[in-house]
């Protein structure tokens, strides 16, 4: 009986080793904004099943101006007549003063504030797609925003794909 238990434990150990290797070999998350890959100094991360990205790069790609209040740890992003306010550690975000709950709160990793990419991108009226096989988040804005003004993405950091 003891020999059978040892064999089962060995088999389970080998299986868990291969599972761990496969999980650690997972490719990094990429974010493609209207066909161009965004570059981040802190890589996107998955937290509670949500893809989180550094706020400055995503908000600048969306054409928003960013204000950071260090005392309150609050992010304010503004573009045209849209204002988004979020606070580190709080799942409540306001969009033009309307309180909305996110699945996961903004957080700080390696000195950078990460926000849920789908939630903030869709708040700016974009379409967001996730490809689990390639681990690519695709954000589609188009050339014209809601006010028929060409979007400014000049401050965003891109790399050719």
Q: What is the CATH number of the domain that holds 101?
A: 3.30.457.10
Contacts of 109 (CB under 8 A, 6+ apart): 42, 45, 52
Share of the chain above pLDDT 70, in %: 72
Report the alpha-carbon distance of residue 27 to residue 32 in Å, rounded: 15
- The whole domain housing 155 covers 28-159
Of the CA atoms within 13 Å of residue 13, those in its CB half-sphere come to 6
Residue-level pLDDT at 141? 84
Report the pLDDT averaged over residues 32-57. Answer: 93
Q: Is residue 53 part of a domain?
A: yes
- Is 110 part of a structural domain of the chain? yes
Give the count of domains, the chain: 1
Residue 7 resides in a domain: no
SS3 for 82-111 is EEEEEECCCCEEEECCEEEECCCCCEEECC
- Each residue's pLDDT tens digit, 69-126: 999 999 999 999 999 999 999 999 999 999 999 999 999 999 999 999 999 999 999 9
* In-domain check, residue 1: no
Q: Considering the domain boundaries, does residue 37 fall inside one? A: yes
pLDDT at 12: 55
pTM value is 0.70
| Residue 57 confidence (pLDDT) | 92
Asked whether residue 147 is domain-assigned, the answer is: yes
């Amino acid at each position: 009986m003891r020999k059978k238990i040892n064999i089962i434990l060995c088999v389970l150990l080998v299986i868990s080793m291969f599972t761990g290797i496969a999980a650690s070999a997972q490719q990094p998350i990429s974010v493609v904004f209207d066909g161009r890959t965004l570059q981040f100094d802190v890589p996107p991360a998955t937290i509670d099943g949500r893809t989180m990205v550094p706020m400055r790069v995503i908000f600048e790609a969306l054409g928003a101006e960013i204000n950071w209040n260090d005392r309150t740890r609050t992010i304010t992003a503004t573009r045209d007549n849209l204002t988004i306010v979020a606070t580190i550690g709080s799942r409540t975000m306001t969009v033009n003063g309307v309180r909305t709950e996110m699945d996961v709160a903004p957080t700080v990793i390696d000195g950078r504030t990460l926000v849920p990419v789908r939630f903030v991108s869709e708040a700016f009226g974009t379409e967001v797609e996730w490809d689990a096989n390639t681990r690519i988040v695709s954000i589609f804005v188009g050339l014209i925003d809601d006010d028929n003004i060409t979007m400014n993405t000049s401050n965003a950091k891109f790399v050719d794909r």
